[in-house]
Amino acid sequence: MMFGKILIANRGEVALRVMRAARELGVKTVAVYSTEDADTYPVRYADEAVCIGPAPANKSYLVMANIIEAAKQTGAEAIHPGYGFLAENADFARACAEEGIVFIGPSPECIESMGDKSSARETMKSCGVPTVPGSDGCLDTVEEAREFAERVGYPVLIKATAGGGGKGMREVHDPADLEAQYKAARTEAGAAFGNDGVYLEKLVLRPRHVEVQILADDFGNNVALCERDCSIQRRHQKLVEEAPSPALTEEVRRAMGVAAVKAVRATGYRNAGTIEFLLDERGHFYFMEMNTRVQVEHPVTEQITGTDIIKEQLRIAAGEPMSCAGRAPFVPSGHAIEMRINAEDPAHGFRPCPGTVTAFEPPAGPGVRVESYVRAGTRISPYYDSLVAKVIVSGQDRAEAVARARRALDEFVVEGIATTIPFHKRVLENEVFLAGEATTDFIETQMGDVL
């Protein structure tokens, strides 16, 4: 049943991560690469590699026809999209199916319905997953916006239905600003997404971002693999993620897991995905968005659940049952923290610093996992994201994970480029972080001097 050969429609650390999983399952791998990435480690690691175009992503990693052609040429039976690029593109999933290639992910219909944030919210509401009080679907008029805002109470947040990841959001604290913000949100959404639909929610103050990893197969197994806390973000870019969330009681963890499984059942979802929740200061949680892909931070979940999420994705896509269906639900084992090491200068507003890595000595030892495609001599390209490495530490409890994180970052040598390692060292000394109390305003309120 398992595939003989798959193609990985991505680059960098995630391409390598997927190929490692494939190799363990005895599956041959095909890398695709832009001319810019020709000399990178994942291209060498693959059993075969096909060049799909020049450096700009819209000429290579985003060109569906070239990727599908590469799969047909090499006889790859399935395509893993990784994250970013075409991972949540329903047209790509459809194009694969039309060519008889398995898309390693959910159905195009699921990708599409969760991509529309307002309809995703309505779907969740109707199946009993808690949502933030707000409008029923998209808003047609400013009068309608005003009615809902008054019903739920100010402050409110106007969100683009085609948005997600924070794009096209406007806060309204004063009723006098509602009309202007409503119009601005619509205009901004129309320009950014070609879809000016907006909806409205009550603004949750000082929330935490807590998300549940789910897996679903063709055999009726729907599991929630505990949660991740991703509250430490800057401009909607996550910097630190951990599992389990230090903010959840066992009772809330169970309730969140049950809600996530309900959401999976209601949508007929298959493969790996994430249900994102906002957690408020009282410990109430609300559906925010569903991600229909594997995420950058999936390793922290793997560390505390003893699973291999990428291998499960391959099994599920190949029509096999997942291998982790029998594990105890909602019970984390130990604690894991991921720090994203980016080629950015935190001392100068996290500005990207592409360039050649001259020395690269990653940390190792007990409880340390490094996910990276970088080797000494690797050029971090200005064309793609600036992720250099993910350092994932795990321990029996949060204190041990924190101690390992400090030790790992002290060992880590990266020369030739500026990185976010110094920023992470500071987070690991911050008392709000150490108390497990970081909310989504952590960077602004606690790390203000690095901004």
Binding to ligand MV4 (CB under 6 A) within 98-157 occurs at 132, 157
Q: How far apart are CA 419 and CA 400, in angstroms?
A: 24
C-alpha triplet 225, 241, 287: angle, nearest 5°: 60
26 in Cβ contact with 34 (< 8 Å):
no
Nearest to 189 by CA among 164, 160, 166, 156: 160
- Of the pair 54, 153, the CB lying nearest ligand MV4 is at 153
> Using N-to-C axis directions, what is the helix angle for 108-115 and 90-98, rounded to 10°?
170
- Of the pair 274, 420, the CB lying nearest ligand MV4 is at 274
CA atoms within 13 A on the CB side of 231: 28
| Maximum Cα interatomic distance, the chain, rounded to a whole number of Å | 62
- Of the pair 244, 363, the CB lying nearest ligand MV4 is at 244
Binding-site member from 46, 440, 442, 450 for ligand MV4 (CB under 6 A):
440
CA dihedral (327, 328, 334, 336) positive or negative: positive
Binding to ligand MV4 (CB under 6 A) within 193-212 occurs at 201-204, 207, 209
C-alpha triplet 129, 134, 135: angle, nearest 5°: 105
Least separation in angstroms between CB 169 and ligand MV4: 6
Buried b (16+ CB within 10 A) or exposed e, 431-451: eebeeeebbbebbeebbeebe
218 in Cβ contact with 270 (< 8 Å):
yes
Binding-site member from 43, 139, 232, 278 for ligand MV4 (CB under 6 A):
278
- The encoded tokens of residue 220 equal 């009726």
Binding-site member from 40, 131, 233, 386 for ligand MV4 (CB under 6 A):
233
Least separation in angstroms between CB 439 and ligand MV4: 9
- Of the pair 42, 84, the CB lying nearest ligand MV4 is at 84
CA dihedral (242, 248, 252, 253) positive or negative: positive
166 binds ligand MV4 (CB under 6 A): yes
Total residues contacting ligand MV4 by CB under 6 A comes to 17
272 binds ligand MV4 (CB under 6 A): no
158 binds ligand MV4 (CB under 6 A): no
- Of the pair 207, 346, the CB lying nearest ligand MV4 is at 207
17, 293, 340, 369: which is the annotated catalytic residue? Answer: 293
User: From the centroid of its chain, how far is CA 223?
Assistant: 18
Q: How far apart are CA 159 and CA 200, in angstroms?
A: 6
Task: Determine the interface stretch with ligand MV4 among 4-12, 159-167, 246-254, 263-271 (rule: CB under 6 A).
Answer: 159-167
Least separation in angstroms between CB 161 and ligand MV4: 12
Binding to ligand MV4 (CB under 6 A) within 287-346 occurs at 288-289
- Of the pair 90, 288, the CB lying nearest ligand MV4 is at 288
Task: Determine the interface stretch with ligand MV4 among 142-150, 160-168, 319-327, 353-361 (rule: CB under 6 A).
Answer: 160-168
Has 315 been annotated as catalytic?
A: no
Task: Determine the interface stretch with ligand MV4 among 141-149, 158-166, 187-195, 298-306 (rule: CB under 6 A).
Answer: 158-166
- The encoded tokens of residue 412 equal 């880590």
- Of the pair 217, 385, the CB lying nearest ligand MV4 is at 385
Task: Determine the interface stretch with ligand MV4 among 27-35, 162-170, 394-402, 418-426 (rule: CB under 6 A).
Answer: 162-170
Quick note: the x/- pattern for ligand MV4 over 395-424, rule CB under 6 A, is ------------------------------
267 in Cβ contact with 113 (< 8 Å):
yes
Quick note: the x/- pattern for ligand MV4 over 61-90, rule CB under 6 A, is ------------------------------
Least separation in angstroms between CB 289 and ligand MV4: 5
Active-site residue numbers? 293
Residues in the site for ligand MV4, rule: CB under 6 A?
132, 157, 164-166, 201-204, 207, 209, 233, 236, 278, 288-289, 440
